[in-house]
Structure 1
Amino acid sequence: MQDLEQMPGHLIRRLQQIAVAVFHTEVEAIGFDMTPVQFAALVRVSEHPGIDQITLAGLIAYDRTTIAGVVDRLVQKGFLSRAVSEKDRRAKVLHMTEAGTEALSRLGPAVEKAQQVMLSGLDSQEAEDFIRLLHKATEAVNGLSRAPLRPVARTTQKD
């Protein structure tokens, strides 16, 4: 049997535990109660105003059935507004509130610091290589996830 400390799944799980702990430490230090998934949702809604919840779930690789709870908490915190879509009455569309935009700007430096802490055992070239390899490995098995990343299709404008 392979040594547990040489198994990528075990090491990835450990790094994820550490990443979440570091994230919480940094955002709590500036007075926020926020999870990494909530932060990812805020970022994507800020980039895609009017996005629906299902598309948001795909953009952050989160389960479609539980995204509503994430959005509920962000709405309760006053960071997002949710409304029925004018195009599809079954869909809920999301927008940043002023409080959400301010929160995101305040969270940015704390989250950046968390990223630096997570990679503090690596020099700058190693960190760059690590991120590149994480992308490569994740993209190769994205389709095996119960909640795969689903980028928003880019629309082209016609003349």
Structure 2
Amino acid sequence: MKKARSPVDLDALPGFHIRRLQQIAVALFLQETEAHGITPVQYAALQTVHDTPGLDQRSLARTIGFDTSTIAGVVDRLEARGWVRRNASPTDRRVRLLTITDEGAALLGAVLPDMLRAQTRMLAPLPAAERTEFMRMLRVLVTANNELSRAPSDAA
């Protein structure tokens, strides 16, 4: 069967490769951290709560670039596993402030070498001299296009 000619070459589209790289990044993360049972999103949320104790869910979502409805489920799972705790805000009873538990902090310490190994594996195909430049260009693209996201990040 002869393949029809298309006016679009997927291989020339940055979005196609970015989507594939995201799939690869998640696969590598899950391979390396399998023993800990944590996802990349859960890791980002847990690390952010660790770094910013008392952060509310809405701010957590904005910090890591997730919509508020999705982050609620992420926090539910982190809380169910005993890794974070929700506490009522002293100034607004409707707001829940997040703190990491001792178990959550221990998990972060345990998962760190595996998470870093996943990051190293992701960049391994690039020559060492090009890895810093690739990361710089990635940050430029994310920062410049942040407001186009369905869930813009405050960190960008």
Same-fold status (TM-score > 0.5): yes
* 1:116 lines up with 2:120 in the alignment: yes
* 1:137 lines up with 2:141 in the alignment: yes
Distance 2:78 2:18 in 1: 28
- 2:48 match: 44
Q: Residue 111 of structure 1 aligns to which amino acid in structure 2?
A: M
Distance 2:148 2:24 in 1: 24
Aligned match of 1:11 in 13, 17, 26?
17
- Offset of residue 123 of structure 1: 1.5
- 1:74 match: 78
Alignment RMSD:
1.2
Report Cα offsets for 1:80-101 as digits up to 9, x if no partner. Answer: 0111111211111100100000
- Offset of residue 2 of structure 1: 3.7
Structure 1 stretches of 5 or more lacking a match? 152-159
TM-score (normalizing by structure 2) = 0.93
Structure 2 stretches of 5 or more lacking a match? 1-6
- 1:34 match: 38
- Offset of residue 41 of structure 1: 0.3
How many residues are aligned here? 150
| Over 6 Å off, 4+ runs | none
- 1:105 match: 109
Distance 2:134 2:98 in 1: 33
Distance 2:134 2:91 in 1: 42
